[in-house]
Structure 1
Amino acid sequence: MGGRDKGLVDWQGEPLIAHVHRAVRPLSDDLVISCNRNQAAYRAYADQWVGDAEADFPGPLAGVIAGLKVARHAWVVLLACDAPLVDRDLIEDLLRLAVAGNSAAMVRQGGFWQPMFSVLPKRVLPVLEQAWAAGERSLQKALLREAVQGLECAESDRRLSNFNSPERLQD
């Protein structure tokens, strides 16, 4: 996105984060956004804000660890800020799967794990911290150290679309 903060890029007249917020807000009174800049701009979309413990923005795993540390509930919904087509049905399906199996649940799309569409039990925090301390930086690999249930979604499922480039904003 040319160095711009993806969550704040406009799509259909609103920042991408506003679309994600609309889907998840009815499901929680504790929305945590992991952001390393522009925290003031995210205030309308979250109850808490966290940043990475390290200054070089080491990736999603660091943000997830920071978010889990402050989360007030036993289950945490993990979503990307640049996935404006995610809907409540998908989130509720993940929640049901996680709670029923008493383990993390993650979307599998076309045979590939999609860790930024997950529901995690807060109790995975020590596992993720251990992975981090051992040098792991991949959120997916760290999560898969624990039992994870897959929610199968079609490759063509638009709800999982990430808007990672200016071209995608034309969709």
Structure 2
Amino acid sequence: MGNVMLDPKQITAVILAGGEGRRMQGADKGLLGLWDKPLVAHVLKRLTPQVATVIINANRNQQHYRQYAPVISDSLAGFAGPLAGFEAGLSHAPSEWVLFVPCDSPLVPTDLAERLCAAISHPGQIAVVDDGSRLHAATALLHQSLLPSLNDYLEGGDRKLQLWFARHEVLTVDFSDQAEAFTNLNTPEALAQLEKTGEE
């Protein structure tokens, strides 16, 4: 690709809503309400203007999610984590580049796709968000050519994102200027706290 800028308007975004919500008492996180809308609707609203297409990766309540966007499910059984969502997204996306965002990040930056795309210079790279204090490994931009490597890794039985990333060239993209945009709502308390702060 040389240094041709990757155009965010040509990529697909996949909202990862396929988890089992263990820390949310098994709730389907993407459908939890925040400011009178489900979390997935907030993520969708922020991602839609940034990319060509948005798809939702969900393993239950698919008919509910379909009200918002096309839905794809994991091909791996049993809530296999973000990598299973990556596998589904890379397999089904209509574009070569796919941006993944967890459904519990309702405040994702409006320039997320643009900044991750700008970091990439060839298809072997994975661009991942770094908020200045930690890596948000599930918020990442990947190319479909990594699918065979991912399938191979998953077939080996491993599920850890970082271990698979370690096999590839990972670019950390600095979002420390918007660290609060990656507030993960992993607990009912975190959700209640954000609800109180008022919308955006």
One-letter amino acid of the structure 1 residue matched with residue 116 of structure 2: L
- For 2:66 and 2:113, the matched residues in 1 are separated by 22
Q: Percent of aligned positions with the same letter in both sequences?
A: 37
Q: 2:49 aligns with which of 18, 26, 40?
A: 26
Query: Structure 2: which 5+ runs fail to align?
Result: 1-23, 195-200
What is the rounded CA distance, in whole Å, between the counterparts of 2:69 and 2:91 in structure 1?
A: 16
Q: 1:113 to 1:101 in 2, by over 3 A?
A: farther
Letter of the aligned partner of 2:37 in structure 1?
E
User: Residue in 2 aligned with 1:35?
Assistant: 58
100-109 or 115-124, which moves further after superposition?
A: 100-109
**Residues 79-158 of structure 1 correspond to what in structure 2 (within 5 A)?**
79-98=101-120, 100-102=121-123, 103-110=125-132, 112-154=134-176, 157-158=179-180
Q: Scaled by the length of structure 2, what TM-score is found?
A: 0.77
Spell out structure 1 runs of 4+ moving beyond 6 A: none
Distance in 2 (alpha carbons) for counterparts of 1:144 and 1:45: 34
TM-score using structure 1 length? 0.89
Q: Which runs of 5+ in 1 are unaligned?
A: none
Report the Cα offset of residue 111 of structure 1.
5.3
Q: Structure 1 counterpart of 2:190, which letter?
A: R
Give the alignment's Cα RMSD to 1 decimal.
1.8
* 8 Å Cα contact 1:101/1:149 also seen in 2: no
Amino acid in structure 1 at the alignment position of 2:55: V
Paired AA for residue 160 in structure 2: S
Count of residue correspondences? 169
Question: In 1, are the aligned partners of 2:132 and 2:179 still within 8 Å (CA)?
Answer: no
What letter corresponds to residue 127 of structure 2 in structure 1?
A
Residue 44 of structure 1 corresponds to which residue in structure 2? 67
